[in-house]
Structure 1
Amino acid sequence: MKVRKIVFWTSLIFSILLFAQGIYTLKSFNSEDIQYFSENTPIIKTEYQSKDSAIHDSVNMLVLGLDDEELRSDVIALINFNPEKKNINILSIARDTRVKTKGKYGKINALISKGGEELVISEVEKITGLKVDYYVTLNFKGFREIVDVMGGVEIDVPMDMKYDDPVQNLHIHLKKGKQILDGEKAEQFVRYRKGNRKGEGYEDGDLGRIEAQQLFFKEFIKQKFKAKYILKAGSIFSILNENMKTNVKISDIDFFVRQFKNIKINEINTFTLPGESVYKNGVWYYIYNEKKTNELIKNNFR
């Protein structure tokens, strides 16, 4: 059973879905567990090499949720853990955030197809002034399958959500009201921003979608923070192994075990990159506010 726990929680700690939930079982880890896991468990594929972090410094993990084509990152979140304060902060970055690479402006969500995780990390570091130590990339196929394995998530959908985009093969059809979302509907909920008709959707566009994503993740953690879900270990690890890419190494597990065991759910704070939506040259961009961003980072992420 110990091995199944290790596989389960080690895998989920790398995913925004259950990042905080992993704290529950980390308390039962010991050095023998880590050694056994290292010798007997397949390693999730890695590419970009992480930078060494001093034990007393904050640790930052960038989480990217890719669309089915894996050409855009619809979810961009920077997870910050401070070993001294024992808290976790999550900074959501709007997918339409304007960035400048190679002298040209574009949206941050398109960088994954141009330069992979390394290019996205570079831009996030410029925006926040923080060093990104780790990254996790999870596609929506994995997202859907994990939600299904965990039995869905109950969400109070704030409005009727209807949107069809044949180009992205994205079709959203959700009714207003409290309901249990399976994997397919959960994806629709976290990706919805506007309808096909003018005036439909969130008034604040991408910021509304970010708030919905944060709500979903909080509810997911709250509802699934239970020991019985350890029994889902094998299925979840298989899903992550097929749909996730990370630079977290087996040797990093000991750090997570020692540092995360005292975290509590109510010590997870969510923030959104400050800024505003602007229409420029026929394209909607989210222009982040550098001054407010610096203040937010200084007060919460250092």
Structure 2
Amino acid sequence: MSNLSNGLPPRTQSGKKSAKPKKTKKKKSFFRSFMKFVLFLLIIGILAAGGYTYYIYNQVEEVLDTGINKEVPKTQLAEAKPLTILLLGTDYRPDHPTYLSDVIMVATLNPNTKSSTIVSLPRDTRLEMDGYKPRKLNEYYPVFKAREKESGEVAEEQMKKMIGKYLNINIDYVTVINFQGFRDVVDNLGGVDVTVDKNMCYRDRADGTDINLTAGAKHLNGDQALDFVRYRKSNCRPRTAESDDFDRNRRQNQVLHSLIDQMQTFNALTKFSAIIKSVDKNMMTDIESQQMKNIVQTYWNISKQNVKYNPVAGTWRSPYVYIDEQQLDLAKQALQEELAKKASDSTEASSNS
């Protein structure tokens, strides 16, 4: 796992990266969706399995070293206070370093109730806010990257400030994820069980894409799960029905919950080292090593029922998504309510269920 203070993958000649501090991620633009999956892994502290916490923690302690050895005050640890994390998934590839953040999510974690609220924003959202030039939400990160040398500000920090202002919340950390980890983790887990909502067929010889899924209950490997969450349109004969960003959000959520189930099995335990390494090598973060380990200790047994996913929808008018302001307000409220939860809230919820 790399920290945001280390050098990232080599920048393109356009000067997108300054010589020093930068964190980055790499991967395919098509894989924008499943970033959500990796997000889950990160959020839950790189999850652990059932009653094997102690064993797992010792197995992955070295992997959880983010390289940021700054001491975290006890009052600021994950076990003592709620945290808010910005998760970015880019389409970075060594031969295509655009850094478009095609997945933008904000997650709050509350130790009092062992719960999390995740808000997802459409990548094509038209953002209009004081201090920022109007553009698609996923275009800001590469713009900030390109201007790092000139501005003297790290792109990831600028994203934290901007998204924090947009959602009216203070963001503690940022993590940038490489999509490649998605396929690796799914394969290491032996696949995931999902219900494919429609036939899906799309082929692209240029990048080797060959999506061919049929509707129904399926057990998917890493490549197939990737196809499932990224499918957008068809170019086959006969054509299969298209999907929009909101369809993909629903499929990503389905994969997310399937992965949570998988991660909490004995099978996951036996392969946990490989799973953790898959995430580790595809993620960069500014979370301190001490904090990362504390997140694992605090949230290892979080229940999927306590992970609330809130995708913000809007109206598509090419080339933008115009956010539904009411949904945006509800998302902001959900984040604030998560941060404000007390231990008693968890007790009351349990007694009412």
Normalised by the size of structure 2, how large is the TM-score?
0.66
Relative distance call for 1:17 and 1:166 in structure 2 (3 A) is: farther
Which blocks of at least 5 consecutive residues in structure 1 are unaligned? Answer: 1-13
1:183 aligns with 2:212: no
1:91 aligns with 2:119: yes
Partner in structure 2 of residue 133 of structure 1: 172
Which blocks of at least 5 consecutive residues in structure 2 are unaligned? Answer: 1-36, 145-154, 340-353
Is the 8 Å Cα contact of residues 122 and 313 (structure 2) preserved in structure 1?
Answer: no
Report the count of equivalent residues. 276
Question: Which amino acid is the alignment partner of residue 179 of structure 2?
Answer: F
Is the 8 Å Cα contact of residues 119 and 309 (structure 2) preserved in structure 1?
Answer: yes
Relative distance call for 1:294 and 1:125 in structure 2 (3 A) is: same
Question: Which amino acid is the alignment partner of residue 297 of structure 1?
Answer: K
3-state SS of 2:232 partner: coil
3-state SS of 1:16 partner: helix
Partner in structure 2 of residue 222 of structure 1: 261
**Aligned runs of 1:109-188 on 2, under 5 Å?**
109-115=138-144, 116-164=155-203, 170-188=209-227
Q: CA deviation at 1:191?
A: 1.4
Q: CA deviation at 1:72?
A: 2.4
Is the 8 Å Cα contact of residues 68 and 141 (structure 1) preserved in structure 2?
Answer: no
1:59 aligns with 2:59: no
1:48-107, CA deviations, whole angstroms, 9 ceiling, x for partnerless residues?
Answer: xx9x95876531122223335252233322221123333211112111112248753322
In structure 1, how many angstroms separate the alpha carbons of the residues matched to 2:281 and 2:104? Answer: 20
In structure 2, how many angstroms separate the alpha carbons of the residues matched to 1:160 and 1:200? Answer: 7
Partner in structure 2 of residue 10 of structure 1: none
1:247 aligns with 2:286: yes
Greater alpha carbon shift after TM alignment, 209-218 vs 60-69: 60-69
1:191-235, CA deviations, whole angstroms, 9 ceiling, x for partnerless residues?
Answer: 123334898313xx2111111111110111123321331221332
Partner in structure 1 of residue 351 of structure 2: none
Within the candidate set 304, 311, 318, 1:272 is matched to 311
Relative distance call for 1:184 and 1:66 in structure 2 (3 A) is: farther
In structure 2, how many angstroms separate the alpha carbons of the residues matched to 1:25 and 1:37? Answer: 15
1:232 aligns with 2:271: yes
Question: Which amino acid is the alignment partner of residue 88 of structure 2?
Answer: L
In structure 1, how many angstroms separate the alpha carbons of the residues matched to 2:184 and 2:296? Answer: 26
Partner in structure 2 of residue 43 of structure 1: 65
Is the 8 Å Cα contact of residues 60 and 131 (structure 1) preserved in structure 2?
Answer: yes
Partner in structure 2 of residue 293 of structure 1: 328
Q: CA deviation at 1:45?
A: 6.0
Is the 8 Å Cα contact of residues 161 and 174 (structure 1) preserved in structure 2?
Answer: yes
Which structure: greater strand fraction? 1
Question: Which amino acid is the alignment partner of residue 142 of structure 2?
Answer: S
Is the 8 Å Cα contact of residues 91 and 100 (structure 2) preserved in structure 1?
Answer: yes
Is the 8 Å Cα contact of residues 88 and 105 (structure 2) preserved in structure 1?
Answer: yes
Question: Which amino acid is the alignment partner of residue 22 of structure 1?
Answer: L
Partner in structure 2 of residue 22 of structure 1: 47
Is the 8 Å Cα contact of residues 99 and 123 (structure 1) preserved in structure 2?
Answer: no
In structure 2, how many angstroms separate the alpha carbons of the residues matched to 1:124 and 1:165? Answer: 34
Relative distance call for 1:103 and 1:90 in structure 2 (3 A) is: closer
Alpha carbon RMSD of aligned pairs, Å? 3.5
In structure 1, how many angstroms separate the alpha carbons of the residues matched to 2:91 and 2:216? Answer: 26
In structure 1, how many angstroms separate the alpha carbons of the residues matched to 2:228 and 2:92? Answer: 15
In structure 2, how many angstroms separate the alpha carbons of the residues matched to 1:83 and 1:67? Answer: 32
